[in-house]
Structure 1
Amino acid sequence: MEKSNSFILKIENQRWLTDEDTDVCSHGEIYLNINGTILTQTGIEEEWGISESALALLRTLDRDYTCDPEKEEGLILHGCGLILMMGCPISIHWSVKHKNDKVILSDFVKVTTTNPQTGSVHYPGLVATVSRNEYQNQILSFAQQAKRWFDSSKEKRITDNFDKEMYMDFWSEYNRLIRKALL
């Protein structure tokens, strides 16, 4: 099956903000293109929380997501909320609607500052319809690439019990969603 160009999502680069031993979230640049409209890419001085975004996207593989920048964290996250995936409004949002064997992506909003009222870029009329299989393949490829970064890194030294539990819960859900998608 030939891949369309209506939804292209990929990790451009991935790194640690601090050091490999203690950083629990990876960051970097993402390429997101919807029907030829590039929402983010390398070279525009935007950095995103890669691992956090991957988990947010994995959650949309079998359930709808409604774009609501005022109440929701988004699907591409800045990463300033750390592993808890909360607290930072800088993000890219869109609605995900599953309809039979298609996935409809719409309502794109990019929040570029900590004030969504003044820092939001709306993309009215930007809609992409992709096959469920293509959507899943794009998200899984993104999530598996993000996970390989962690798999090839040193074991994390997390001294705080709450942080350690959050880290373990994060990866438990992440791995469960990947396994479920691969069935």
Structure 2
Amino acid sequence: MKLSNPFTIKIENQRWLCDDEHDLCSHGEIFLSVLDTIITQSSVNEEWGISESALALLRTLENDYCCEPEHDEGLILHGCGAILMMGCPISIHWSVKHLDGHVTLSDFVKITTTNPDTGSIYYPGLEVKIGSIDYKNQIVSFALQAKELFDHSKEKRISDDYDKELYEEFWTEYNQLLIRNMNL
């Protein structure tokens, strides 16, 4: 079956692990397809940190990203690192290169276990070049959908000052990137 878009990313479902007052990030399933390759989808027993992934993806709208799983957290995160966006190797990575109104996505790798040596799936030769506007629209749509769950949840009850500061910094950056990229 041919897919209609050369790159598709969307949230399949999103939820809280505990409750909306205490959870600082949302989790769920993502559909990610590049050309005819589905990298992740619902009902394959893969859960991702949705809000963390949305911020990581928003960052790629203004900056290139080099796929280096051994050094970076990734673009689709497992979510076990909480608000810090760190601490768990389970992730999906790819390189993002902006040039002349296009974005080239390449070097896809999915790490499915905490041992990247045995749990990495590489997609050699998988590369796609799409218009910057198309890429931006998909990432902004993803980020808006992720934010919607937070917008309709109870106010967070964060007792730790450090966690509260990190949470506020997370959403400040998230909202700034989202607003800047919604109107370009």
Report the TM-score when normalising by structure 1.
Answer: 0.97
Q: Look up the match of 2:81.
A: 81
- Are residue 70 (structure 1) and residue 79 (structure 2) matched? no
1:39 aligned residue = 39
Counterpart of 1:105 in structure 2: which amino acid? L
1:182 to partner: Cα distance: 2.1
> Is residue 129 of structure 2 the alignment partner of residue 126 of structure 1?
no
One-letter amino acid matched to 1:116: P
Question: Following superposition of structure 1 onto structure 2, how do residues 135-150 of structure 1 map, counting pairs within 5 Å?
Answer: 135-150=135-150
Instruction: Report sequence identity in percent.
Output: 66
Q: Return the offset for 1:62.
A: 1.2
CA RMSD of aligned residues (A): 0.7
Could you give the per-residue CA deviations for residues 131-170 of structure 1, whole angstroms, max 9, x where no partner exists? 0000000000000000011000000000000000000000
Find the counterpart in structure 1 of residue 174 from structure 2: 174
**Counterparts of 2:120 and 2:146, CA distance in 1:** 27
Structure 1 moving runs of 4+ over 3 Å: none
Distance, in Å, in 1 between the alignment partners of 2:52 and 2:182 is 20
Unmatched tracts of structure 1, length 5 or more = none
Q: Aligned runs of 1:18-57 on 2, under 5 Å?
A: 18-57=18-57
Partner Cα distance (1:144, 1:128) in 2: 24
Q: Quote how far apart the aligned CAs of 1:118 are.
A: 1.1
> AA paired with 1:107?
D
1-structure distance, mates of 2:9, 2:45? 18
Distance 1:25 1:111 in 2: 20
TM-score scaled by structure 2?
Answer: 0.97
In structure 1, what is the equivalent of residue 12 of structure 2? 12
CA–CA separation in structure 1 for the residues paired with 2:36 and 2:168:
38
The separation in 2 between residues aligned to 1:175 and 1:76, in whole angstroms, is 19
- Read off the aligned partner of 1:71 and give its amino acid letter: H
The answer to whether residue 155 in structure 2 is matched with residue 155 in structure 1 is yes
- Write out aligned runs for 1:85-124 (5 A): 85-124=85-124
Q: What SS does the aligned partner of 2:105 have?
A: strand
Q: Could you say what secondary structure the match of 1:135 adopts? A: helix
CA offsets 1:68-103 (integer angstroms, 9 cap, x no match): 000000000000011000010000000000011000
Aligned residue pair count: 180
Counterpart check, 1:164 vs 2:164: yes
Cα distance between partner residues in 2 of 1:15 and 1:131: 31
Letter in 1 for 2:163: D
Say which SS state the counterpart of residue 159 (structure 2) adopts. coil
